[in-house]
Amino acid sequence: MQKIDGVTVLSPSDLSNHLACRHLSSLNFRTMNGGPKPPKDDDELTEILQKYGAEHESRYLEALKTQLAETGKTVIDLDVQRSAHGSYTTAEIEARAHDVAEAFAAGPNALYQPTFFNLEGEIGWIGRADFLVPKELSSNLGNYAFEPYDTKLARIAKVNANRQSKCAVAAVLLRRADCRNPRNSA
């Protein structure tokens, strides 16, 4: 949960947090509006999971590139600008989401770290899939559609719920683009 250009921007993590504990949502809302930030308590296990998770995602990216190259397709890396960037404006987030729409129309290539954004009034939903992988399905794009794949490693069931909500939000935003209802994780 964050405030960007006067817009409250919510993510799948915010949805999972709210479903797990409404009080956490109120604390995050208070922080977003200038209240105290909760302490960050990353432990050694969290750091290990982050390290192995990044390695797993990197291996999956390389394997997907190899697999798609055999069919003349590729993986479009949409994470390049975000990696070296701090906070964003809503215009920059909308531009990233527009890049995803252009990549959809460019053909059935996989997308790495695509950003989705839906703004209605003063509330925005942002979502990022690890990967969108093309499938041979009919959609408004033609004879292909996309399914999100999440490559995060989970430590507890709550994290698994976050993965599911992440894919669910991606599914809703993909459906709005009429690119099918995704349902996978890697």
Cβ partners under 8 Å of residue 137, min gap 6: 143, 144, 145, 180
Pairing status of strand 115-120 against strand 123-128: antiparallel
Distances (CA, A) of 130 to 23, 122, 133, 148: 29, 26, 10, 7
> Using CA atoms, how far apart are residues 141 and 151, in angstroms rounded to an integer?
25
The pTM for the full model equals 0.77
> Digits of tens for pLDDT over the chain (186 positions)?
999 999 999 998 898 888 888 998 999 999 999 999 877 777 788 788 888 888 988 999 999 999 999 999 999 998 875 555 556 888 888 888 888 888 888 888 999 999 889 888 899 999 888 898 988 888 888 888 888 888 876 545 445 555 555 666 666 666 665 554 444 444
pLDDT per residue over 87-128, tens digit each? 688 888 888 888 888 888 888 899 999 988 988 889 999 988
Query: In 3D, which of 184, 84, 90, 52 has the Cα closest to residue 130?
Result: 184
What is the C-alpha radius of gyration for the chain, rounded to an integer number of angstroms? 17
> Using CA atoms, how far apart are residues 105 and 131, in angstroms rounded to an integer?
16
Counting DSSP H helices and E strands in the chain, the numbers are 6, 8
